[in-house]
Amino acid sequence: MGDTQSDTQAESAWPVLKEDARVDAAWPVLEEHEIRYLDHVGKLLAPRSPEQIFFHEHEETDEVLLIKKGHVKVVAGRPPRIVAIRKPGDIIGEMAFLRGKPRSASIVAYDEVLALRIPGQQWLNFLYLFPRAMHAQLVAADGRLDEATSKFVGSDWAIERKLANVLLELLDLDLGEQVDGKQVLRFNQRDLASLAAASHDSIKKIMRRLRDAEIIYTGRQTIEIWNREALGEIASGSQTSII
């Protein structure tokens, strides 16, 4: 009986999560009090201009970045390819320190970027001090893995659908500049091919079709969105520009 009582007392000391403790889409990766803690242990870097580099691929450094303002490109491989775009509130570079490995990609400013630099050990301390944030980071990392693998697992999608999804994602990240009432994305076709996990030639062909259908207009290193609704229909598979 004594053992049973001891076991019960020990169990009562274990942390118990509420039934609704699972993460959903509305749960922030970082809450305000967690951001304040990181602001205290981190250092705000000077603003970076477009194309300035934060990390180099294969670099052995332990800093973690919290994007405060602007967007960064995640660039990997030879020749370099954009594999993702990250936005304000995103944590960048955390896995290199946690896994003790070199950087898997370069981090390059897309527009003017303001970022908080957090030493790797301080980041690890933070995760253990704030278990909710650790949970949220685990879910965010899994979401990024889904994002990366879906481009390849979904390779049976029409290239057109994949490209439409990429263009809409870039618009949702507020990367479109308003010019004469139209949204303009400043990406070239090779960038789009990388983001869609498609060949450059196939993207050129689809871009030509979208232009002929007056859904987009292409300029030098720019894509002007003429019909966002049609892009949404193509992304969902309910419309095509292919005749």
pLDDT of the residue at 152 = 53
Mean pLDDT on 116-145: 91
Handedness of CA 208, 213, 215, 220 (dihedral sign): positive
- pLDDT for the residue 34: 95
pLDDT band at 149 (very low <50, low <70, confident <90, very high): low
Closest of 77, 38, 42 to residue 56, by C-alpha: 77
Q: Convert the pLDDT of each residue in 97-127 to its tens digit.
A: 888 889 989 999 999 999 999 999 999 999 9
Measured distance CA(8)–CA(20) in Å, rounded: 24
Give the single-character DSSP code of 119. Answer: -
Q: What pLDDT sits at residue 155?
A: 43
DSSP 29-64: SS-HHHHHHHHHHSEEPPPB-TT-EEE-TT-----E
pLDDT digits (tens, 9 = 90+) for 186-211: 999 999 999 988 888 889 999 999 99
Q: Which value, in Å, is the radius of gyration of the alpha carbons in the chain?
A: 22
Lowest mean pLDDT of 3-17, 133-147, 184-198, 205-219, name the range: 3-17
CA 190 – CA 196 distance, rounded (Å): 10
- Over residues 49-72, the pLDDT tens digits come to 999 999 999 999 999 999 999 999
Domains of the chain: 24-153 (2.60.120.10), 159-236 (1.10.10.10)
